[in-house]
């Protein structure tokens, strides 16, 4: 179906984004998804920098598994920090110098420093964390501490009725 607008008022009445707003949809969608996960207490993540690594997080009975896509990042430029309840992935993606390439007509690549913080819903054993980096993918295994959790659900009771 092809939608054609003859004037701006018709476009505003449909509720569809204007051509300028189409570019903002992915970032707005990501923001909405982050708010949804925050609301339900799942994997709140923060990121900073121009380049944001994409992650995949899996969980089994004994550990969490985090895979982060870091294409073009040198292994020596990756810095991992782990606490009992969060994982911080920092690094730097260097700009590639194009010798004899002339003037670049179009570039969609991103460079620079990045930082990604992933909060974990259960404590992990920081001494047993393992990380491997191969073909631009960082794979991190985070073993859980048995029986310990970094959160607990609190039951809200009603106040006792006064005695007369």
Considering the chain, what percentage of its residues have pLDDT values greater than 90? Answer: 24
* Residue 37 or 139, more confident: 139
Quote the strand ranges of the chain, DSSP E: 45-49, 54-59, 63-69, 78-82, 86-93, 112-119, 130-134, 137-143
pLDDT at residue 5 greater than cutoff 50 = no
Is the model's pLDDT at 19 over the cut of 80? Answer: no
> What is the predicted pLDDT for the residue at 161?
52
CB 84 within 8 A of CB 126: yes
The more confident residue out of 10 and 128 is 128
What DSSP designation does 39 have? H
Tell me the per-residue pLDDT of 72-128, one tens digit each, with 9 for 90 and over: 899 999 999 988 778 999 998 887 776 666 777 777 777 888 888 998 878 888 889
Question: How much is the average pLDDT of 38-44?
Answer: 52
Please give the residue that has the higher pLDDT: either 56 or 1.
Answer: 56
In angstroms, the Cα distances linking 120 to 43, 70, 124, 151 are: 6, 21, 8, 10
What does pLDDT average to over the chain? Answer: 75
Alpha-helix runs per DSSP H in the chain: 8-14, 25-40
Res 134 pLDDT > 90: yes
pLDDT for the residue 1: 47
Mean pLDDT in residue range 22-44: 63
DSSP string over 40-65: HTS--EEEEES---EEEEEE-SSEEE
CATH, range 43-96+111-148: 2.60.40.790
Strand pairing class (45-49; 112-119): antiparallel
Lowest mean pLDDT: which of 22-31, 100-109, 154-163? 154-163
Helix (H, G, I), strand (E, B) or coil at 162: coil
Domain ranges of the chain: 43-96+111-148
The model carries a pTM of 0.59
Cα atoms in the Cβ-side hemisphere of radius 13 Å centred on 20: 2
């Amino acid at each position: 179906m092809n939608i054609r607008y003859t004037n701006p008022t018709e476009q505003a009445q449909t509720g569809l984004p204007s051509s300028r707003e189409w570019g903002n949809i992915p970032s707005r969608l990501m923001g909405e998804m982050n708010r949804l996960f925050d609301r339900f207490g799942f994997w709140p993540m923060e990121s900073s920098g121009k380049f944001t690594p994409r992650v995949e997080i899996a969980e089994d009975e004994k550990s969490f598994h985090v895979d982060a896509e870091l294409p073009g990042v040198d292994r020596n430029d990756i810095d991992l920090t782990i606490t009992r309840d969060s994982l911080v992935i920092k690094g730097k993606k260097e700009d590639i110098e194009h010798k004899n390439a002339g003037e670049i007509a179009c570039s969609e690549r991103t460079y620079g420093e990045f930082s990604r913080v992933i909060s974990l819903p259960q404590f992990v054993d920081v001494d047993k964390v393992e990380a491997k980096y191969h073909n631009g993918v960082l794979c991190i295994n985070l073993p859980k501490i048995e029986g310990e959790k970094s959160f607990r659900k609190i039951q809200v009771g009603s106040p006792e009725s006064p005695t007369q």
